[in-house]
Amino acid sequence: MQTYVVGGAVRDELLGLPVKDKDYVVVGSTPEAMIAAGFKAVGKDFPVFLHPKTHEEYALARTERKTAKGYKGFVVHASPEVTLEEDLARRDLTINAIAKEVSTAVKEGHGKLIDPFNGLADIQSKTLRHVSHAFAEDPVRILRAARFAARFTEFNVAPETIDLMRQMVDAGEVDALVAERVWQELAKGLMEAKPSRMFEVLRACGALQKILPELDQLWGVPQPPQHHPEVDTGIHVMMVIDYAASQNFSLPVRFAALMHDLGKGTTPVDILPRHIGHEERSVKLVKELCKRLRVPNDCKELAHIVAKFHGKLHQTLQMKPSTMLSFLIELDAIRQPARFKDFLKACESDSRGRAGLENCPTPAADLMLKVLEAALSISAGAVASAFSEPEKIKAAVFEARLQAVKLVL
């Protein structure tokens, strides 16, 4: 029985990155032998065991055989005869198909590397390349390759891998992906260092048109150059999500930033480059997309209000105090101040996700944050205690908050 560290732990160690979790492969063993050694079986689809002391995962070396479309269409074979190279051959990218020997006689970081698919060379050349044609058997690997491009921003996907991914799309493999898995990979990619690279790769192989057609159609749609020097709506949205990532904004903010201008893809050609009414069209598309991908409520709700109100935020600079307060109430900002602050972050990303305007001021966001803080300084309960007629309370609370807002303007 031989044990190896495999996958991301080896890759990250070679890249000089922190190693978070380690995955182990055991060659030459059986489930019975693992259990006898004190390991606990946890794998449902294939033999995985938890170490009795460290609780790290140890998987028996295995092969996979494609039996149907989609990422679940596999038959797994694990036996003592499966070699390490056969196990590594089923992995997605060469940089994830490097193993390192585990031995009590070898100090951490000095184990022998086993690299049958030249993953080390691809790390050195900063290339994301598929291990073998088996890559084409799992459509999730398209999303993973795109996500790694967003994480490792200096790496490029090999042309032959893009070609293979395009063949997978043409063969209908992407159509077999389930909503939960698509969302899982998209969410991870949005949280990487440069999310735009994920969408660039998905566009390059044709997968974006299948997965997010509403987003894909934004490229080539013009915007007024006086407001958007980058002109192209698709480019603008990519700049917006990269800005949100540069500020370490949360997943809901990044997703809302991605969704905020979907309606511009359906603007009538005869009114371009203007986009009258795109907010309403965006809201409809966001609702449909979130339902299709089963997007979590926190991401869905923020994306909805950003799509609907991001344009109105800029109008607050000309609003009367009472209209500003009504806008806060319309956004439910007083009950959900944290969500409203996320709304402002998404709007900030929209404003600064424009060519040459990455550091532009955001006076409307700054103003509304002051208005929110003033409104929150008023206790509705304290105001209500002065009235015996319930029908007067709402107006009294509004008036008290309005006076507080006027003091900060």
Q: What residues does each domain of the chain span?
A: 2-132, 141-314+336-360
**What integer pLDDT is reported at residue 86 of this predicted model?**
92
- Within 10 angstroms of residue 208's Cβ, the number of other Cβ atoms is 23
Q: What is the pTM of this model?
A: 0.90
What phi-psi label fits residue 371: left (phi over 0), alpha (psi between -120 and 50 degrees) or beta? Answer: alpha
Buried/exposed code over 368-402 (b: 16+ C-beta within 10 A; e: otherwise): beebbebbeebeeeebeeeeeeeeebeeebbebbb
Q: What residues contact residue 36 under an 8 Å CB cut-off, 6+ apart?
A: none
Alpha-carbon gap, residue 131 to 138, rounded angstroms: 13
CA dist 361 and 68 (Å) reads: 53
Topology adopted by domain 2-132? Beta Polymerase; domain 2 (3.30.460)
Tell me, what's the pLDDT at 405?
97
Task: Show the 3-state SS of the chain.
Answer: CEEEEECHHHHHHHHCCCCCCCEEEEECCCHHHHHHCCCEECCCCCCEEECCCCCCEEEECEEEEECCCCCCCEEEEECCCCCHHHHHHCCCEHHHCCEEECCCCCCCCCCCEECCCCHHHHHHCCEECECCHHHHHCCHHHHHHHHHHHHCCCCEECHHHHHHHHHHHHCCCHHHCCHHHHHHHHHHHHCCCCCHHHHHHHHHCCHHHHHCHHHHCCCCCECCCCCCCCCEHHHHHHHHHHHHHHCCCCHHHHHHHHHCCHHHHHCCHHHCCCCCCHHHHHHHHHHHHHHHHCCCHHHHHHHHHHHHHHHHHHHHHHCCHHHHHHHHHHCCCCCCHHHHHHHHHHHHHHHHCCCCCCCCCCHHHHHHHHHHHHHHCCCHHHHHCCCCCHHHHHHHHHHHHHHHHHHHC
| Per-residue pLDDT tens digits of the chain, which is 409 residues long | 799 999 999 999 999 999 988 989 999 899 899 999 999 998 776 789 999 988 898 999 988 765 555 555 456 677 888 999 999 998 999 999 999 998 644 445 567 899 999 999 999 999 999 999 989 989 999 999 999 999 999 999 999 999 999 999 999 999 989 999 999 999 999 999 999 999 999 999 999 999 999 999 999 999 999 999 999 999 999 999 999 999 999 999 999 999 999 999 999 999 999 999 999 999 999 999 999 999 999 999 999 999 999 999 999 999 999 999 999 999 999 999 999 999 999 999 999 999 999 999 999 999 999 999 999 999 999 998 888 788 889 999 999 999 999 999 8
Residue 212 C-beta-side C-alpha neighbours within 13 Å: 25
Nearby residues of 78 by Cβ (< 8 Å), 6 or more positions away = 46, 47, 60, 61, 62, 63
Q: What is the pLDDT of residue 106?
A: 42
Question: What is the rounded distance in angstroms from the CA atom of residue 157 to the CA atom of residue 337?
Answer: 41
What CA–CA distance (Å, rounded) separates 258 from 303? 8
Q: What does the pLDDT read at residue 105?
A: 40
Indicate the pairing of strand 48-50 with strand 156-157.
unpaired
What fold is seen in the domain 141-314+336-360? cca-adding enzyme, domain 2 (1.10.3090)
Q: What is the pLDDT of residue 273?
A: 96
Q: In whole angstroms, what is the distance from residue 196 CA to residue 244 CA?
A: 11
